[in-house]
Amino acid sequence: MARGLNSVNLVGTLTQAPEMRYTANGLAILELNVAGNDHVVGSDGQERELAWYHRVSLFGNQAEMMADQLNAGDPVFIDARLNFRSWETPEGQRRSMLSLNANRVERVTYGTRSDQPTVQDARGQDRLRFALNEARIIGNLTRDAELRYTPSGDAVLGLSVAVNERYRDRSGQDQESTHFVDVDLWRELAEASADLQKGAPVFVTGRLKNDSWTDREGNQRRTTKIEASRIEFLTRGSESGGSGTPAGGGGRSQPAASPNPPAPAPSESRLDIDEEFPPEEDLPF
């Protein structure tokens, strides 16, 4: 699998005071609710302000340091990573969630947009008007792309991307985890990416958004995904490419523009993607 890239930057307003809690092991977790407006150009060429609300967790010493510094209404800068978790309900159904773990949170001032920097939402919460909302990932497709069209004729492509992450945990052990990230592509981007197949490595950048939908049992469900503003098709998907891998020198040239990269080798993928990823019918369109 491609070595993952997993980065989210947000600038938004805290909609409420942060909440501190502690795990059974005593780890501090500060939960932040952040909101902002993106400025997006629609299919009609018109710019729209689209609201977003994201929940971000900050951990450990940083959580304790920031707890007393942050108040409802404060504008903040957040550098974060996407974090995938999945579990089984008591009824035996698989559920998953994509959350945001902060590397750092900084309080900012209303500097450069000081005239009407926020709008109030229906709950009376301040939301930053000119927010920053940028996600960047590198990963491999968990299934073939499938192009669809909305009733109004807009092309839309839903990708699911497995982002591989290697990191050193608190006890100094090297760990590996995989984050499954849904990506929506629209119009030209969707049509140009329609031939992508399972295993293909991609770089995606775009805005992070939440969708909600009602599942077959009538439950309200939520998912966090990236709406892509750009996608790049990488050409060396099955190589791990880390500087620490004994790759045996260069010269592993591939055909110039392989449209169909091999699926990840079983020995390299810690998880069985098909089993671990929520079933197709569980996903919103």
Nearer Cβ to its own copies (14/138): 138
Residues 146-165 that bind its own copies (CB under 8 A): none
What phi and psi values does residue 211 have, to the nearest 5 degrees? -115, 150
Question: Does the protein bind its own copies through residue 41 (CB under 8 A)?
Answer: no
Candidate residues 99, 205, 223, 238; the one interacting with its own copies per rule CB under 8 A: 205
- The distance between the two most distant Cα atoms of the chain, rounded to a whole number of Å, is 60
The count of other CB atoms within 10 Å of the CB of residue 120 is 9
Whole-number minimum distance, CB 271 to its own copies, in Å?
Answer: 22
Q: Looking at beta carbons only, is 90 or 250 nearer to its own copies?
A: 250
Q: By C-alpha distance, which of 83, 174, 74 is closest to 126?
A: 74
Establish if 39 lies at the interface with its own copies (CB under 8 A).
Answer: no
Does 50 contact its own copies by CB under 8 A?
no
> Going by DSSP bridges, is the β-strand pair 118-120/28-41 parallel, antiparallel, or unpaired?
unpaired
C-alpha pair distances (Å), 15 with each of 33, 61, 98, 162, 165: 6, 23, 20, 31, 31
**Residue 29, interface with its own copies (CB under 8 A)?**
no
In which element (H, E) is residue 190 found? helix 187-192
> Residues with Cβ < 8 Å from 191, sequence gap 6 or more?
147, 155, 157
Q: Interface with its own copies includes 26 (CB under 8 A)?
A: no
CA distance linking residue 77 with residue 111, whole number of Å: 13
Residue 247 makes contact with its own copies by CB under 8 A: yes
Considering beta carbons, is residue 142 or 193 the nearer one to its own copies?
193
Q: Footprint of its own copies on residues 3-22 (CB under 8 A)? A: 3, 5, 7, 9, 11
Q: Between residues 227 and 283, which has the closer beta carbon with respect to its own copies? A: 227
* Binding residues for its own copies (CB under 8 A): 2-3, 5, 7, 9, 11, 59-62, 64-69, 77, 79, 104, 106-114, 132, 136, 138, 188-189, 192-193, 201, 203, 205, 230-236, 239, 241, 243-247, 249-254, 256-257
